[in-house]
Amino acid sequence: MLASMGVSVSMLASGSRGNCAIVASASTKILVDAGISCRETFKRMKALGDDPRLLSAILITHEHSDHVYGLATLAKKLRIPIFMTGATHQVWARAMRDANGNRPQLEKLERFEAGHRFQVGDIAVQPFTIPHDAADPVGFTFRAEGIKVGVATDLGYIPVSVRDHLRGCDVLVMESNHDVEMLRVGPYPWSVKQRVMSRVGHLSNVALADFFTNDYDNNAAFVVLAHLSEQNNHPEIARREAERALAMRGGLFANHVLLASQTEALQPIRL
Ligand SMILES: [Zn+2]
Ligand SMILES: [Zn+2]
């Protein structure tokens, strides 16, 4: 007997040393990004009681190594469809060439385009363009069983188009990368600081708070703060900023704020 298990979101890893999450319905299990090793991905899934052999597909947001580090091995082991945009695939394949210049072959590559919805099993996926310094970076929303999940990390700011896509989410995974002051006085070289702070860099705590205060529809039961910098942020600072902004909207108790971790998987969020 299989009762409906609803929709779940598992944050396996989040941050500049690797990003990986699972969005699942009762019958479909999507790996969102493959930024930690295959072995570590399997280990973290098993720790949550999850079976890697049940994964349906892997979706890639962009080609930065903290999102694709484990991809080649995972693709080879699991032999499931890999969804990337054409431009992301091109840059990834070029970077992955072996000593003889041969590009890696993905057995089941599925190209998608930002703005064009597609289906993986019973999950409807909507990819949308985000402002980030990669070839063709995207965020995603996922819909199944009347539940909507939004994932937007690695973005320099939140354009109107992204705000529109994130409306009505029941789970919202948002980047809360850095504390601007910590980044400013921190150890990064100036060029890197400039990159992180730019319109195609990463979202700061205060930029996310501004979104919560001014543009967010207060709809999500769970807000996950993700891609936190280990150098230029602190989980409690990120949490405080987000909760303060949500409280201003009277939404603090409606939105359960969670912090995704670099070093261990979060317990699955179930809806
Ligand atoms: Zn990136
Ligand atoms: Zn990243």
Concatenating the DSSP letter of every residue in 71-110 gives: HHHHHHHH---EEEEHHHHHHHHHHT--TT-PPPPPTTEE
Looking at all shown ligands, the one closest to residue 18's CA atom is 2
Find the ligand nearest to 133 CA: 1
CA 91 – ligand 2 centroid, Å: 16
Q: How far apart are the first and last CA of the chain?
A: 20
Of the ligands numbered here, which is closest to the C-alpha atom of 66? Answer: 2
Q: How close is the Cα of 166 to the center of ligand 2, in Å? A: 19
Q: What's the pLDDT tens digit per position in 94-128?
A: 999 888 888 888 999 999 999 999 999 999 999 99
CA of 113 to the centre of ligand 2 (A): 20
Q: How far is CA 263 from the centre of its chain?
A: 15
pLDDT, position 200: 96
Look at residue 251 in the predicted model and tell me its pLDDT: 66
Confidence band of 228 (pLDDT split at 50, 70, 90): very high
| 62 Cα–ligand 2 center, Å | 8
Q: How many angstroms is it from 163 CA to the middle of ligand 2?
A: 20
pLDDT score of 4: 56
Q: pLDDT (tens digit, 9 = 90+) per residue, 168-201?
A: 999 999 999 999 999 999 999 999 999 999 999 9
- Residue 128 Cα to ligand 1 midpoint, Å, equals 15
> How far, in Å, is the centroid of ligand 2 from the Cα of 3?
36
Q: Which of 246, 208, 252, 243 is nearest to 227 (CA)?
A: 208
